[in-house]
Amino acid sequence: MQLEVRSGVEAARVRTYEVRTYGCQMNVHDSERLSGLLEDAGYAKAAPGATADLVVFNTCAVRENADNKLYGTLGHLAPIKAERPGMQIAVGGCLAQKDRDTVVRKAPWVDVVFGTHNIGSLPVLLERARHNEQAQVEILESLEAFPSTLPARRESAYAGWVSISVGCNNTCTFCIVPSLRGKEVDRRPGDVLAEVQALVEQGVLEVTLLGQNVNSYGVNFADPDEHRDRGAFAKLLRACGNIDGLERVRFTSPHPAEFTDDVIEAMAQTPNVCPQLHMPLQSGSDRVLKAMRRSYRKARYLGIIEKVREAMPHAAITTDIIVGFPGETEEDFQETLDVVRQARFTSAYTFQYSIRPGTPAATMADQVPKAVVQERYDRLIALQEQVSLEANQALIGTEVELLVAEGAGKKNAATARMSGRARDGRLVHFRPAEAGAIRPGDIVTVDITGAAPHHLIADGPIRGHRRTRAGDAHEAGIKPKTAPIGVGLGIPRIGAPAPEPAAACGTGCGA
C-alpha cells in the first residue's frame, strides 16, 4: 500500500476524496481535472456513501440560490469535520471566484478556497493549509494554465468532455460568467485533437467539444504561432472526422452571432458529427435581445435553423430560453412563443429570470413581478412540451442507433428498461432481451414504439447489439484517465511516491 508522508510522519491509510459538482458542463469537466490532480497527489476516490477525508465543492454562480445551497451544505459538514481530525474541505469554481474571502468568513471551517483560474493549485493549497493550520485562499484574476495541462479522471467509460477554449468575450447583461472565467482563450487544434485521440485510445466512443461560445473558436489562440482563424471550428469538426474509433462528436454551446455556414457544412459532411444542435435563443423579442446585449435578432436566429434543417433535415435542435427578463412585456413574450412554434425545438431548457448580483440586468428598471414570470413560464412549458411530444411521436416506427447510457432513466429498475442516447441526442428507454448482456457503452439498434415529451420508448425486440471496448471498460469498472496535454505545470505530488521513469513516447501519452 502507498504511504502518505505528512510532516515527516508516515500514515498507512491513503486519504480519500469526494468532488461535488454544481452547474454547467464546464464545471463537470473541471471536476474531472480536480479528480485527476488529487489521484496524482496520492488521494483515492471515496467509496459511495462513505465520508471522505477531503470534500471539494466545485461551485456555480449562475444558478439561482447557488450560495444558499453551498453554505447550507457546508453547515451540515461542520460537525462531521469537527469529529474527524484531519478532514479537509475545499471550495472552488465560479462562486469561489466571485465570493473570495466571503466563503471563509461565512464558513470558517473551510480549509481552501480557489478560483476558476488556478484549479491546478489545489493539492499545494491543501498541503499548505494542513501545514499552517490556517485556511488558504488563492484567487487569480487570469488563467494560470489551460485545464488540459492537468490530468483528468473521467467519469464515463464511453463519453468524454474536451474543452477547446476557456472564457467568454460577450457581455450579456444577465450573465456573470465573463467576469469569473475571463476573456476567451483558445487551445491549439493539435492539443485538442491529441486529447480526443487519447480518449478514443481508451475506448471512448463519444466526445463533446466544450466552450462558452464554442463556435467562436479561433478568435484568440493562446499559442502566438496560431493565427486568428474564423474557420477554425469547422476545420476542427472535420479533423475529428478523421479519428478512427471516434463514433460521435457533439459540441456545446454555440452562439448564434458566431454561427457560420462552414460549420453547418462541416456538420452535414462529417459522418461522426451528430445531427444535433444546442443553440441558445434566450428571447424571441428583438427588443429584449438588445437589452440582453445578445448580438443577433429573431430573423438571424430562425435563418440559421432553416439552413441547418436544409443541410440535415432530421437534426434535433435544442435551446435555452429566459422568461421574465427586466422590461419584458406580454408582446415580447408572444415573440418568444412565436419562435418556439416556428423553430420546433426538440426540447428547451427554460429559466425564470432571477437577479444575479454583479450583472447589469440586476439593477435594471421594470423587473417583472414573480407572479407574471411564473404565468408566462407555465405557458412556455406547455407549448414546448406540445411541440416536443409531436416531434417525438413522428419518430414512432423508425429505427434508431443508441449508445447505451448508465443510469439515464429514473424508472428503469421498475420497468426493466435500459436507456441510451440516439445520434441526435434524444433519450430512448428500451427493453434488453437478456439482463446483463447489454452494457453501458455498447451500441444497440431499436425501433421506436412510444413517445413522451422528454423521451422515446422502444419496447420491441433489439434489432442489433454491438459490444464495444467502452462496454468492456464499464463492465470492468475502468474509467479513462488522460495525461496532461500541452505545457505541464509541475504540480508536486503529495502523499504518493514519485513514479518510476518511463520510456519516452514524445506524445504526452499516459495512463
The reply to whether 509 sits in an annotated binding site is no
Per-residue burial over 221-240, b if 16 or more Cβ lie within 10 Å, else e, is: bbeeebeebeebbbbbbbbb
**Non-local CB neighbours of 93 within 8 Å, separated by 6+ positions:** 22, 23, 27, 30, 57, 58, 59, 60, 61, 115, 116
Per-residue burial over 113-134, b if 16 or more Cβ lie within 10 Å, else e, is: bbbbbbbbbbbbbbbbbbeeee
Backbone phi, then psi, for 426, in 5-degree steps?
Answer: -65, 145
Q: Copy the grid coordinates of residue 56.
A: 471539494
Radius of gyration of the chain (CA): 24
Residue 426 CA to chain centroid, in angstroms? Answer: 17
Q: Copy the grid coordinates of residue 354.
A: 432571477
The reply to whether 94 sits in an annotated binding site is yes
- Please report which helix (H) or strand (E) contains residue 196, including its range: helix 189-201
Distances (CA, A) of 272 to 195, 233, 291: 17, 15, 38
Rounded to an integer, what distance in angstroms lies between the CA atom of residue 35 and that of residue 53?
14
The reply to whether 168 sits in an annotated binding site is yes
From 286, 230, 225, select the one nearest 262 (Cα to Cα).
Answer: 230
Rounded to an integer, what distance in angstroms lies between the CA atom of residue 293 and that of residue 177?
14
The reply to whether 505 sits in an annotated binding site is no
The reply to whether 175 sits in an annotated binding site is yes
DSSP state at residue 445? E
Helix then strand then coil, % of the chain, to nearest 5:
35, 20, 45
Q: Are 100 and 67 in contact (CB under 8 A)?
A: no
The reply to whether 172 sits in an annotated binding site is yes
Residue with the three cell numbers 465570493: 99
Rounded to an integer, what distance in angstroms lies between the CA atom of residue 330 and that of residue 215?
32
* Residue set of the binding site for [4Fe-4S] cluster: 24, 60, 94, 168, 172, 175
* Residue set of the binding site: 24, 60, 94, 168, 172, 175
